[in-house]
Amino acid sequence: MNIIIWIEKYGLFFILLFCLGIFTPDFSNKISMMDHELDAVTDGLAGSNMFKQLFWIFLFLFFSFRFLVNQGINRFKPVVINKMMILLVVCIIALLSASWSNYPSIAMKRSIFQVLFCISVSLSLCFAIYHKSIEINLKATIVICIVMVLFAIISGAGFNESYNLAGYLKSKNTMGINLAVLIVISHMWIKSFEIESQSLTLSLGFLFVLLLLTQSKTSIVLCISYFLIIQLSVFKIKTLMCILSVAFFSVFVFIPGISHLTNDYQHVALYVDADFFTGRGIIWDALYYDLGFFDKITLGYGYGSYFEVGVIPFVLDNKYSFLQYISSAHNGYLQLLLQFGYVGSLFIFLFLIISMWNANNKYFCAALILPILQNVTESSIFRDANMAWFLMVAIIISSGVYLVRERTLDKI
């Protein structure tokens, strides 16, 4: 088989493996304490290593070139470009934030990575749909994921000391959300692109058993919620997703931003206990205090310029507190506020919600329940190469390609 066509067909498979953390497995003994920091593996993926840089640069250059010269996908090009523009606007906002960041080089570097990531995921998905290779990409990914988990269990490193399945990753929570997203995204594509495969359907059942073994309550609830929500009509699902999105954005971003302008600073951390959601109350309170005290609530600190810059943020720099080890806001909406302020966050939110409302497939709309709810307790919106952000990009692009495919079938 021509190597170029082979990469076009299966590039999505390698991207899935990367986002699932399969290229950077951890077969050491698991420690339950690591579960308090969901981003342990994601941070490793986002580090500046040669493999990561070469991997994404190669995929970006390859798929960009093939997208331009391959005439067979002409019918997909207008809608894919349109959808990618939504993602690129978000990336441009991130690039602009480098101008007011205290770490402009870090902001630029992480913004450029997001450009490479969004374009590579978008185009690899477009080619996989064009070549009708979604099924084999999913099958191969699921098989390797299951094999890696089983190998971790057999080697004695699959469970932490509390007997939660962490598999080949450091945290059972990371394993949980990865499995939940893989189940949902597989079902979403199976139903939307009419893939008939009994073995693939059965494998999703096995993945769900592994998900239960992680005992990651949030991920299990999110996965079950998706399968309950798809019983509703498209309009009801879209309405529900919009209500939830607007509600969470208002609580965590809009209200703090507006109230700060009126000198009556209000935020959710003022109304919850310090140990709310296993310590998130104290984390949120510290971060909202930081934004208000240093007057950063309007524009934020810049993309990727608050956590993991080599310096512990002032309000977290307490050697007697666990806060010094925090590497995310443990809330995606608050993380947006930290990076872009309420001005940039509002633009990003509007672009994403417009794209969400334009989706006319109930499976794509229902899958949004994962990133919308998961970001209440964890940070994955526009964050590195984790599975929850991969899901959001996949939903945006899939919804566009799905419409083109349906129109083509109608003409036939």
pLDDT in tens, 198-235: 999 999 999 999 999 999 999 999 999 999 999 999 99
Other Cβ atoms less than 10 A from the Cβ of 55: the count is 18
- In this prediction, residue 410 has a pLDDT band, given cuts at 50, 70 and 90, of low
pLDDT on residue 359:
78
- In this prediction, residue 29 has a pLDDT band, given cuts at 50, 70 and 90, of confident
Three-class SS state of 199: helix
Q: Between residues 220 and 325, which one has the greater pLDDT?
A: 220
Contact of 100 with 302, CB cutoff 8 Å: yes
pLDDT score of 32 more than 50: yes
- In this prediction, residue 411 has a pLDDT band, given cuts at 50, 70 and 90, of low
Three-class SS state of 159: strand
pLDDT on residue 303:
96
pLDDT score of 48 more than 90: no
When mean pLDDT is compared over 11-25, 37-51, 267-281, the highest value belongs to 11-25
- In this prediction, residue 403 has a pLDDT band, given cuts at 50, 70 and 90, of confident
pLDDT in tens, 269-304: 999 998 888 889 999 999 999 999 999 999 999 999
Nearest Cα to 89, choosing from 125, 54, 118? 118
Contact of 341 with 155, CB cutoff 8 Å: no
Six token digits for residue 133: 């290779």
pLDDT on residue 39:
44
**pLDDT (average), residues 305-316:** 92
